[in-house]
């Protein structure tokens, strides 16, 4: 439940990222169109989107601290920012270089990406924890100042731990990269699997630098665009991402939307649509990934595994297309005509296959195991969704209620009262709340005489539809 609480907290900052990714993608497309009169607009769109995407870690720090504070405090949000600034400043390349013998490890590469999502989320958690110490009694410090002191101390202690641990992690990733460098397509698949797993910690940038740039001599992106690599090999650490980001993530968004509780579909639809479009056009997948990686780690591991399989397949079959920003449609158009491209159109065929795989597996697993994804959060204290509900949704809700009560033949009587449905059943053992909860029920109470299902202010509208079934 703690991971699920963090997952819900991430939804506040995540909501702004898909729109930012689209602004960047449109700006990028306008720039590449070659139309000089659109160049100024292209730069505005790119810079506007980039300032949001590039500050994703900082936005996480503020949003997580705010959402996890008990009273949604602005003070907690400010301290999230403070914590993030302290950690990233203390562990900046210039400070670490001053303290370290740079021959021991490559400081620029190890600490060059310390400004990442993991540090942002960690800062938010530390700030929220510090804010909760506000109520610890003391006669010496005002409460707000006490929070500031706690946040600063925790941030400094965290920096010390990361100063010790971060280089060890970087050295380990370099060793892994060197080990799988000569494994061919299998190594590419292993890399892609680890890449998605490390998104959680913000360490995928380190791993990417090993394979995409010239850290250990691979330089996959540079060689692809310069046409200086080996045709059929150069680009294999990139190509298999296209089927995932353009097709798999879109299918994932569709499956999760369709599995939303009925009462939350309307609220979640803009997020899923914008995330899917952003991923397809620009290859920015983090908004959707961060929305469920904490809510349902099992699904995220499956996503990482499928990404590894896709990159392995594309490398094995020599379907090659590189990218400069990420594996979205805009980059695909630009990269598929370069000399190093090999059968790039086949990546669309592979993408169609992965669309089906993602959709079927995600929908099946979410439903079968009742997994928590955006729009399916298990919060018994959350009231019924405000606003109107479409007639078709009410009809579907009525059907689910009847099924959850063991069928129409098991229902003796049913009526509504303020916020609850009161249902008398022939056999209460046939009642399955797990089924009913999926259409927005906030809870239930079972007595010897009846079962009361809590729906909130819309219970009368639900009851009107149930009457049509002549119960």
The predicted-structure confidence for 294-347, as pLDDT tens digits, reads as follows: 889 999 999 999 999 999 999 999 999 999 878 999 889 888 888 999 999 999
pLDDT for res 98: 74
**From 158, 259, 405, 417, the catalytic residue:** 417
Q: What is the pLDDT of residues 228-271, one digit of tens each?
A: 889 999 999 999 999 999 999 999 999 999 998 887 888 889 99
Rounded to a whole number of angstroms, the CA Rg of the chain reads: 26
Cα–Cα distance between 466 and 450 in angstroms, integer? 17
Does the structure show a pLDDT above 60 at 385? no
At 212 the three-state DSSP class reads: helix
pLDDT digits (tens, 9 = 90+) for 138-178: 556 677 777 888 889 999 999 999 988 888 888 888 888 88
Confidence of residue 103 (pLDDT cuts 50, 70, 90): very low
Widest CA span of the chain, in angstroms? 80
Between residues 467 and 409, which one has the greater pLDDT?
A: 409
What is the distance between the alpha carbons of residues 6 and 11, in angstroms, rounded to a whole number? 9
- Is 417 labeled as catalytic in the residue annotation? yes
Give the other-Cβ count within 10 Å of 281's Cβ.
23
pLDDT band at 387 (very low <50, low <70, confident <90, very high): very low
CA gap 146, 123 in Å, rounded = 17
CA dist., res. 111 & res. 172, Å (int):
14
Distance CA 123, CA 181 (A): 34
Other beta carbons within 10 angstroms of residue 68's beta carbon come to: 22
- The H or E element containing residue 131 is helix 117-132
Based on the number of CB atoms within 10 Å of its own CB, is 71 exposed (0-12), middle (13-18) or buried (19 or more)?
Answer: exposed
Q: What is the pLDDT of residue 382?
A: 47
Task: Report the share of the chain in percent with pLDDT over 70.
Answer: 91
pLDDT attached to residue 470: 62
Average pLDDT over residues 170-196: 90
Q: How confident is the model at residue 384, as a pLDDT?
A: 45
* pTM assigned to the model: 0.74
Contact assessment for residue 400 and residue 430, using Cβ atoms and an 8 Å cutoff: no
């Amino acid at each position: 439940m703690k991971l699920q609480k963090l997952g819900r907290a991430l939804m506040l900052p995540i909501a702004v990222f898909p729109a930012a990714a689209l602004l960047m993608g449109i700006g990028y497309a306008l720039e590449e169109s070659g139309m000089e009169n659109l160049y100024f607009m292209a730069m505005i769109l790119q810079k506007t989107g980039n300032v949001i995407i590039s500050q994703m870690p900082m936005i996480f720090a503020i949003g997580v601290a705010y959402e996890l504070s008990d009273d949604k405090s602005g003070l907690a949000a400010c301290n999230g920012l403070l914590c993030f600034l302290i950690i990233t400043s203390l562990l900046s390349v210039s400070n670490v270089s001053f303290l370290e013998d740079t021959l021991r490890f490559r400081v620029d590469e190890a600490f060059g990406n310390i400004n990442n999502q993991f540090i942002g989320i960690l800062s938010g958690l530390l700030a929220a924890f510090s804010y909760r110490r506000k109520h610890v009694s003391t006669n010496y410090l005002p409460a707000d100042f006490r929070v500031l002191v706690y946040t600063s101390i925790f941030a400094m202690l965290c920096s010390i731990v990361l100063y010790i641990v971060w280089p060890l992690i970087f050295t380990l990733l370099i060793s892994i990269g060197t080990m799988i460098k000569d494994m061919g397509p299998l190594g590419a698949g292993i890399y892609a699997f680890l890449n998605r797993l490390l998104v959680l910690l913000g360490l995928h940038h380190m791993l990417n630098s090993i394979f995409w740039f010239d850290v250990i001599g691979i330089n996959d992106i540079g060689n692809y665009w310069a046409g200086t690599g080996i045709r059929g090999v150069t680009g294999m650490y990139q190509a298999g991402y296209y089927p995932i980001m353009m097709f798999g993530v879109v299918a994932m968004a569709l499956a999760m939307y369709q599995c939303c509780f009925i009462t939350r579909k309307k609220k979640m639809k803009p997020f899923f649509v914008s995330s899917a479009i952003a991923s397809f056009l620009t290859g920015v997948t983090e908004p959707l990934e961060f929305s469920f990686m904490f809510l349902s780690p099992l699904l995220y591991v499956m996503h990482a595994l499928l990404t590894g399989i896709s990159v392995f397949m594309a490398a094995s079959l020599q379907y090659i297309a590189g990218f400069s920003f990420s594996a979205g449609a805009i980059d695909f158009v630009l990269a598929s005509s370069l000399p190093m491209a090999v059968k790039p159109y086949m990546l669309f065929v592979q993408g169609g296959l992965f669309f089906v795989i993602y959709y079927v597996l995600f929908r099946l697993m979410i439903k079968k195991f009742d997994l928590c994804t955006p729009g399916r959060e298990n919060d018994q204290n959350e009231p019924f969704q405000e606003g109107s509900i479409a007639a078709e949704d009410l009809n579907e809700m009525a059907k689910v209620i009847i099924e959850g009560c063991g069928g129409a033949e098991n229902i003796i009587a049913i009526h509504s009262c303020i916020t609850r449905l009161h249902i008398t059943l022939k056999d209460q053992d046939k009642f399955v709340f797990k089924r009913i909860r999926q259409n927005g029920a906030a809870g239930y109470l079972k007595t010897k005489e009846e079962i009361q299902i809590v729906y909130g202010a819309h219970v009368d509208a639900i009851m009107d539809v149930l009457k049509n079934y002549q119960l």
